[in-house]
Amino acid sequence: MLSVFTGAVAPVVKLSLVKRGDSRHPSLLMCSAYDFYPEKIKVSWLRDGVVVTSDVTSTEKMPNGDWYYQIHTELEYIPKAGEKISCMVEHAGFEKPMIYDWSVFRAPLKGAYMFKITVFDHGNPHNPTSACIMKNGQAVAVAYAHQSHGGVSTSNRVVSILEVGDVVFVRLRSNSRIYNNILNTFSGYLLFSLKPS
């Protein structure tokens, strides 16, 4: 029996830091869209809400071999304090363009910081909902939920000693999804400062 699927499948979007920079050296961010159908998609970078056209490179849309596609685009930029970097994805699987913010926390002073992550899983037998709190590229805490139906939230916290300039961010774990940007949160605060070494 031949089955023809005509509906749109929204992409799974992941932001990742390819190369960490500083005030003099550029960072390299990647926005990847996976497992989408149909092939037509537009991926753009935004700096403080304005579309960026320079220092952006993209791959062609590539078939996965299973009727789905993927595309990757990179942004090279020098980080500025308070600047908001986002990836905007426009696809038939979305009702409106989806904006994915890249937020990286850089410790302004040495101290003990508390970070919390909460993820919501709406129930999917194939993909769990899971994300990691990353410190300087290493996972320090994981929030994970996986159930076949219904919705559930899970949280995790970590206290970490940070040096000035240490970077903390959230990364989606492989083979997992995050649903509904409203119900997923990442927060943190300084518990107490420490004397510089």
pTM of structure: 0.55
pLDDT value of position 171: 77
Domain map of the chain by residue range? 12-102, 105-193
Nearest to 176 by CA among 144, 128, 105: 128
Same fold? 12-102, 105-193: no
Percentage of the chain with pLDDT > 90? 18
pLDDT of 60 strictly over 90: no
Instruction: Give CA 119 to chain center in angstroms.
Output: 13
Sequence-separated (6 or more) residues with CB below 8 Å from residue 83: 47, 48
Q: What is the mean pLDDT of residues 117-132?
A: 73
| 8-54 confidence digits (pLDDT tens) | 888 888 887 777 666 677 878 889 898 899 999 999 999 989 999 89
What whole-number distance in Å separates Cα of residue 166 and Cα of residue 161?
A: 9
CATH of domain 12-102: 2.60.40.10
| 138-157 confidence digits (pLDDT tens) | 888 887 777 666 676 777 88
pLDDT value of position 20: 65
Domain 105-193, architecture per CATH: Sandwich (2.60)
pLDDT of 5 strictly over 60: no
63 or 40, which is more confident: 40
pLDDT of 178 strictly over 80: no
Which DSSP string do the residues of the chain spell out, in sequence order?
A: ------S-BPPEEEEEEEE---SSS-EEEEEEEEEEBSS-EEEEEEETTEEE-SSEEEPPPEE-SSS-EEEEEEEEE---TT--EEEEEEETTSSS-EEEEE--EE-SSSEEEEEEEEEEE---SS--EEEEEEETTEEEEEEEE--SSS-EEEEEEEEEEE-TT-EEEEEEPTT-----TTS-EEEEEEEEE----
Confidence of residue 89 (pLDDT cuts 50, 70, 90): very high
pLDDT of 172 strictly over 50: yes
